Amino acid sequence: MKIENTLFAFRGQELLVRIEERTVSLPSPEEWTALGLSVEEPHLVGELRGSAAYAVGLDPEMPLPEGTEVIGLRKLWGRLDEEAWKLAGRAVQIVEWDRNHRFCGRCGTPTAAQPSERSRTCPRCGLQHFPRLSPAVITLVEDDEGRALLARSPHFVPGVYSTIAGFVEPGESLEEAVAREVREEVGVELRDIRYFGSQPWPFPNSLMIGFTARYAGGEVRIDPTEIEDARWFTLDDMPLIPPPLSIARALIDDYLDRHGRSVAR
């Protein structure tokens, strides 16, 4: 394959990047050609700074070229420039979808990529396999005293609290999912559930749909299988919060802005 465009190359779900001191970047087209790397069939995923961008998979046994590493996107958050990081999130999902649907999930027959759309079709039973998203809701709850209900998962960075999130179940509306997740994870009831915004989230293939809500009743009681701690925070006693770029941070920033407060971006 002749390399003339931007490539997001993944070994598993980790992105190949060039490391120079503290700088992280994608290998240039010229570097790709010089390295002579072998890749799977490329997938067009968009455009980056005027250049077509493709997603490819790397041979897992291939030795990495000098000066490069493969790093997960979570660890690259804030190190790779924002435009490239967002497109890499799309790219890794396309590569994983293609890799995971080489065979039909119904009858086991090898599938074929379709030239007119992003899908793989089973030539035997006709089942089509499209990239799929898992919708998840994420919510900032505020009470009548102006306090925000934040929680932390044991998987978070120590000390960091965030908004409450969870996946939408079959048959639910988004608003029903918000109310259920908050009830299950922290034990409180909600009112005035309002849409805030959304964000693609490639961990592994989510669409995060943000909401704000008002406290309607109940005592905070955590589900210890999901939540390590949850509590009401005042404007003058906010904990460590997620870094910029995430919709969780956008929800918290919006809450603070509405009350005339801010934190360092």
The CATH number assigned to the domain holding 146 equals 3.90.79.10
Same-domain status, 123 and 77: no
The token pair at 147 is 């306090």
Same-domain status, 107 and 169: no
Q: What's the pLDDT at 2?
A: 47
Same-domain status, 48 and 110: no
Choose the final residue of a domain: 80, 100, 120: 100
Same-domain status, 140 and 110: no
Same-domain status, 10 and 83: yes
Q: What's the pLDDT at 4?
A: 57
Q: What's the pLDDT at 265?
A: 47
3-state secondary structure of 254: helix
pLDDT tens digits in sequence order for the chain, 265 residues long? 445 578 899 998 999 998 887 788 888 766 666 666 656 678 999 998 888 899 988 888 877 877 889 999 988 988 888 899 999 999 999 999 999 999 999 999 999 999 899 999 999 999 999 999 999 999 999 999 999 999 999 988 899 999 999 999 999 999 999 999 999 999 999 999 999 999 999 988 999 999 999 999 999 999 999 999 999 999 999 999 998 889 999 999 999 999 998 765 4
Q: What's the pLDDT at 40?
A: 62
Same-domain status, 73 and 120: no
Same-domain status, 202 and 169: yes
Burial grade of 153 (CB within 10 A; 0-12, 13-18, 19 or more): middle
User: Does residue 163 fall inside a structural domain?
Assistant: yes
Under 8 Å between Cβ of 161 and 151: yes
Residue 258 Cα distances to 237, 253, 254, angstroms: 16, 9, 6
Under 8 Å between Cβ of 134 and 116: no
Q: Which domain holds residue 52?
A: 6-100
Same-domain status, 120 and 145: no
pTM for the structure as a whole: 0.87
User: Does residue 14 fall inside a structural domain?
Assistant: yes
Q: What's the pLDDT at 225?
A: 93
Query: How many Å apart are CA 169 and CA 134, to the nearest integer?
Result: 10
Same-domain status, 59 and 122: no
